[in-house]
């Protein structure tokens, strides 16, 4: 059963400007492992998609009280399929809402990054 859905859209150029104006922004939003998975640095357009994913997750859960950006990590499997790793308050929110699985899709093209999240729970 679907418990919640969330979508977010990020203007990549605006995200890049914010990152250049505020050098520590990326460190505030993303863990080192998210910025450089497997030791390779992700381009800003990919980080913009990951930021959209974090925002979409919060929308799907319906609550961001007490959540920190580093409580949400986006990882990819060997096929480069993305998924979430949740900890601390965001993990508690997901558990409180009975969420058993999160589905994530991200993309970037034509200067935009978008993410879509479906939160699923037991029927």
Residues 89-101: tens digit of each pLDDT: 999 999 999 999 9
Q: What pLDDT, on the 0 to 100 scale, is given for residue 123?
A: 66
Chain length of the chain: 123
| Whole-number Å distance between alpha carbons of 62 and 112 | 24
Low-confidence ranges of the chain (pLDDT < 50): none
| Whole-number Å distance between alpha carbons of 67 and 58 | 9
Q: Determine the CATH number of domain 2-121.
A: 3.90.470.20
Q: Which pTM does this prediction carry? A: 0.94
Helix (H) or strand (E) holding 10: strand 2-11
- Which residues, 6 or more positions from 116, have their beta carbon under 8 angstroms from its beta carbon? 5, 6, 7, 56, 104, 105, 106
| Whole-number Å distance between alpha carbons of 18 and 96 | 34
Q: What pLDDT, on the 0 to 100 scale, is given for residue 31?
A: 92
């Amino acid at each position: 059963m679907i418990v919640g859905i969330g979508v977010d859209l990020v203007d990549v150029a605006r995200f890049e400007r914010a990152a250049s104006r505020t050098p520590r922004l990326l460190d505030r939003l993303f863990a080192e492992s998210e910025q450089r998975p497997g030791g390779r640095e992700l381009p800003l357009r990919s980080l913009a998609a990951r930021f959209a994913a974090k925002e979409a997750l919060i929308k799907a859960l319906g609550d961001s009280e007490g959540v920190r950006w580093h409580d949400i990590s986006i990882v990819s499997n060997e096929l480069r399929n993305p998924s979430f790793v949740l900890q601390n308050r965001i993990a508690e929110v997901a558990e409180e809402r009975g969420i058993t699985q999160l589905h994530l899709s991200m993309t970037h093209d034509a200067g935009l990054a978008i993410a879509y999240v479906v939160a699923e729970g037991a029927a």
